[in-house]
Amino acid sequence: MSTATHVAQGKVTTRTLLKMKEEGKKIAMLTAYDYSMAALIDQAGIDAVLVGDSAANVMAGHPTTLPITLDQMIYHGVSVVRAVKRALVVVDMPFGSYQGDPIEALRSAVRIMKETGADAVKLEGGEAAADSIRKIISAGIPVMGHLGLTPQSINQFGTYSVRATTSQEADKLLKDTLLLEELGCFSIVLEKVPAKLAEKASRSASIPVIGIGAGGGVDGQVLVLHDMLGITQGFSPRFLRRYHNLGQEIAGAVSRYVEDVKEGSFPNEKEQY
Ligand code: KIV
Kindly tell me if the per-residue pLDDT of 4 is higher than 90.
no
Residue 209 φ then ψ, to 5°:
-110, 120
To the query of whether residue 191 is one of the catalytic residues in this protein, the response is: yes
pLDDT-based confidence at 1, cuts 50/70/90? very low
Tell me whether strands 143-148 and 27-31 are parallel, antiparallel or unpaired: unpaired
Whole-number Å distance between alpha carbons of 71 and 93: 11
Taking all residues of the chain, what is their mean pLDDT, rounded to a whole number?
Answer: 96
Distance 54 CA to ligand 1 centre (A): 6
Kindly tell me if the per-residue pLDDT of 225 is higher than 60.
yes
For residue 210, the ligand 1 atom closest to its alpha carbon is 7
Q: How high is the pLDDT of residue 8?
A: 80
Whole-number Å distance between alpha carbons of 234 and 115: 35
CB atoms near residue 2 (< 10 Å): 5
**CA 182-146-80 angle, 5° bins:** 115
Q: Positive or negative CA dihedral for 156, 161, 162, 167? A: negative
Kindly tell me if the per-residue pLDDT of 173 is higher than 60.
yes
pLDDT-based confidence at 6, cuts 50/70/90? low
- Catalytic residue of the set 124, 181, 182, 191: 191
Give the residue whose CA is nearest to atom 4 of ligand 1. 52
pLDDT tens column, 175-212: 999 999 999 999 999 999 999 999 999 999 999 999 99
The string over 137-164, giving b where at least 16 C-beta atoms fall within 10 Å of a residue's C-beta and e elsewhere, is: beeebbbbbbbbbbbbebeeeeeeebbb
Residue 185 φ then ψ, to 5°:
-60, 145
Task: Find the mean pLDDT for residues 4-21.
Answer: 87
Kindly tell me if the per-residue pLDDT of 7 is higher than 80.
no
Cβ-based burial of 92 (10 A; exposed 0-12, middle 13-18, buried ≥19): buried
- Percent of the chain beyond pLDDT 70? 98
Q: Is 223 in the pocket of ligand 1 (CB under 6 A)?
A: no
- Percent of the chain beyond pLDDT 90? 96
CB atoms near residue 195 (< 10 Å): 15
Kindly tell me if the per-residue pLDDT of 220 is higher than 50.
yes
- Which amino acid belongs to residue 221? Q
pLDDT tens column, 108-163: 999 999 999 999 999 999 999 999 999 999 999 999 999 999 999 999 999 999 99
pLDDT tens column, 73-116: 999 999 999 999 999 999 999 999 999 899 999 999 999 999 99
Distance 145 CA to ligand 1 centre (A): 11
Task: Find the mean pLDDT for residues 47-62.
Answer: 98
Distance 31 CA to ligand 1 centre (A): 7
Whole-number Å distance between alpha carbons of 166 and 3: 47
Whole-number Å distance between alpha carbons of 179 and 173: 10
Task: Find the mean pLDDT for residues 37-46.
Answer: 98
Kindly tell me if the per-residue pLDDT of 238 is higher than 60.
yes
Residues in CB range of 228: below 8 A, 6 or more apart: 30, 240, 241, 242, 243, 244
Q: Is 58 in the pocket of ligand 1 (CB under 6 A)?
A: no
Report residue 260 CA to chain centroid gap. 39
For residue 22, the surrounding DSSP H or E stretch is: helix 14-22
Angle, to 10 degrees, between the axis of helix 102-116 and the axis of helix 70-83? 30
